[in-house]
């Protein structure tokens, strides 16, 4: 596994080693010993799998407040997404900054999003299967989010794609309206 750092401390891309031949491929998709170099505070406790069947589905930007904050390891097994993480750690030199990566079934990249970040993605293909591990269980009373197209964040989403949002994500507040619980 190769680890690629990003400009936002703690946020990394993982590139698995893929062994391919005429029959197909083999790769390790997860190994517990990878947690320590990532700085994950807890082991992963849950795996999630979503399927989107429309180009432009935009999920996010979501986070969970302490004590149910989550670190995530995300990847795509079918299709491609534009994946975004926003630093919500007050006092961080990159507070309010974002980093984006294209994740696809072809590039097999994994994106480690530590707690203290909002996370979201937009589908770039008509069908996407998106999977992720989390290190804390979902707690509805502790969920939070930021409107994906908030001008303060300035996220440069892929052009020419109309976002398809849930009612909940359409109603998310702007960045300046949230009080970050992350230090």
> Closest Cα to residue 83, out of 96, 97, 72, 99?
99
Q: How far apart are CA 84 and CA 48, in angstroms?
A: 18
Each as own residue / partner, the long-range contacts of residues 150-158 (CB below 8 Å, 24 or more positions apart, any chain) are 150/174, 150/175, 150/176, 152/96, 152/176, 153/86, 153/96, 153/98, 154/98, 155/84, 155/86, 155/98, 155/100, 156/100, 157/58, 157/82, 157/122, 158/82, 158/122, 158/124
Q: How far apart are CA 85 and CA 53, in angstroms?
A: 23
Annotated catalytic sites, by residue?
A: 62, 132
> Closest Cα to residue 100, out of 75, 113, 82, 77?
82
């Amino acid at each position: 596994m190769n680890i690629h750092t990003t400009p936002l401390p703690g946020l990394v891309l993982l590139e698995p080693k893929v062994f391919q031949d005429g029959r197909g491929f083999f790769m390790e998709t997860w190994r517990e010993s990878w947690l320590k170099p990532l700085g994950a505070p807890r082991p992963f406790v849950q795996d999630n799998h979503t399927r989107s069947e429309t180009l432009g589905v935009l999920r996010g930007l979501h986070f969970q407040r302490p004590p149910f904050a989550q670190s995530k390891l995300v990847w795509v097994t079918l299709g491609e997404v534009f994946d975004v993480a926003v630093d919500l750690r007050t006092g961080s030199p990159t507070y309010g900054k974002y980093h984006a990566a294209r994740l696809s079934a072809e590039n097999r990249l994994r994106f480690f999003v530590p707690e203290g970040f909002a996370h979201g993605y937009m589908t770039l293909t008509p069908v996407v299967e998106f999977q992720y591990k989390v290190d804390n269980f979902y707690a509805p009373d502790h969920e939070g989010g930021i409107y994906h197209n908030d001008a303060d964040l300035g996220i440069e989403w892929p052009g020419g794609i109309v976002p398809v949002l849930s009612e909940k994500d359409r109603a998310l507040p702007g960045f300046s309206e949230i009080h970050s619980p992350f230090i």
